Amino acid sequence: MKGVLIFGIVAGSVWSFVPGTLGELFITAGQTATVVFSEALTGVFVSWLLALALPRVSRSERIVLGLFSLPVGAFSFGVIISFIHLAVEALFGISYRFVAHEFMPIHSGFSYAAYSTLWYPVFVLLPLALFTSWLFGRLAVNVRVKTSHLCAGQNQPP
């Protein structure tokens, strides 16, 4: 579980450059912080979902999971950042984009999912999502499977 958490935070933080640059969300330091924090939470959530599924599926199914990780992550980011912006507004009185006009987390989630998969960035984002899912499977999931297998008293990992 520790590997999933660490990978999710790191990968999510790296992925924050996607909405930060494409969505022009890196305008102020406060808004940049909310984007990076929201993506870190999104990374942990998507990594947790992948950790549940990857050990149980075949290689070809792992590719499908990697493909679906992009819209799932984008949707999750839209929902999470909406709630983070709502909290910032409630605590500090600062209104960022996702609550400035109206609080609609599901709409934001669907917008990000649609934009990430139906617009030109898909040609860059989809390979990155596949790579991130593959890397997660190699680092976090395989280490966990090997460790649990060795702890069970067997000498060779599966």
Least confident of 6-20, 43-57, 89-103, 116-130: 89-103
Residue with more model confidence, 148 or 138: 138
Residue 115 has pLDDT above 60, yes or no: yes
- By the 8 A CB rule, do 66 and 130 touch? yes
- By the 8 A CB rule, do 111 and 77 touch? no
**pTM score:** 0.81
Cβ neighbours around 58 below 10 Å, total: 8
Residue 113's φ and ψ, nearest 5 degrees, are -65, -45
Residue spans of the domains in the chain: they are 2-151
- By the 8 A CB rule, do 48 and 4 touch? yes
Cα–Cα separations (whole angstroms), residue 73 to 38, 67, 90, 147, 155: 11, 11, 25, 28, 37
Q: What pLDDT was estimated at residue 45?
A: 96
Per-residue pLDDT of 9-22, as tens digits, reads 999 889 888 878 87
